[in-house]
Amino acid sequence: MTTPEPTPEAQADAPFMRTIKTYVLRAGRMGSGQVRAFDQFGPQFLVPYKAERLDVQAAFGRSAPLILEIGFGMGDATAKIAQERPDDNFLCCEVHEPGVGALLKRCGEESIDNIRIVQHDAVEVMDHMLGKDSLDGVHIFFPDPWHKSRHHKRRLIQSPFVQRLAQHIKPGGYLHLATDWQPYAEQMLVVVSAEPLLANTAEPGAGGYANKPDYRPLTKFENRGIQLGHGVWDLVFRRV
């Protein structure tokens, strides 16, 4: 397997934000159904952020492998994955209310019992609510690529954040990233490959990228991109 040499762009992740954030707030309007979902389904599926260790078994009502999803957008892929993998628990972090409302609505209406949502920054959730070596997997799908060079420092997948993630994943657990922006995929590959706690699972000759795991569904935007000839890159690393 050949790992690309670090480019100046990838090496420029050193001046990452002093306080790591997994999101940038954007305005968004909620529909009436999403608003109702907070009242109707919030008590069952929302986990309030507290700067103290989360009792995961109590939150889900059972003991099961724990997967952290960071930034689920409107939650369509999240819901499908949770339904595909009923034996896993999914703790999902998102700060944008329309997306949280949409996933709450879907969880309630489709009885998706293995999802819990924390409407808070994932770094603080990891640091305060989850212990080290506590996660069986982490999903980060299609994070903002910040296309302009002057904005690359805002990209989520950078060395300080990946180091933090790796410490929270159990030995044998995995990190799954996906992006439809090739320059970001290349940076991701360099950055994650440099983390000594993580090992790439890609097949030899695959350029470091994994085949899309069956559990990750194609989103409507991904399907549209494929029709236009755009690529999608998955990276799957294991905690050593």
219 has binding-site annotation: yes
Angle at 71 between CA 91 and CA 133, to 5 degrees: 45
97 has binding-site annotation: no
Residue-level pLDDT at 63: 98
Residue ranges of domains in the chain = 8-239
The CATH code that applies to domain 8-239 is 3.40.50.150
69 has binding-site annotation: yes
Which residues in the chain land under pLDDT 50? 1-18, 22-27
What does 39-94 look like in DSSP terms, one character per residue?
HHHHHHHB----SS---HHHHHTS---EEEEE--TTSHHHHHHHHH-TTSEEEEE-
Residue-level pLDDT at 9: 41
50 has binding-site annotation: no
Residue-level pLDDT at 146: 60
Angle at 147 between CA 236 and CA 220, to 5 degrees: 60
> Catalytic one among 76, 88, 127, 144?
144
Residue-level pLDDT at 168: 98
d(CA 202, CA 236): 7
Residue-level pLDDT at 3: 44
Residue-level pLDDT at 10: 41
Closest CA to 152 of 178, 126, 120, 191: 191
Give the amino acid at 193. Answer: S
Residue-level pLDDT at 115: 98
Q: Encoding tokens for residue 143?
A: 């994070």
Among this protein's residues, is 144 annotated catalytic?
yes
Closest CA to 78 of 123, 28, 114, 121: 114
Residue-level pLDDT at 26: 46
144 has binding-site annotation: yes
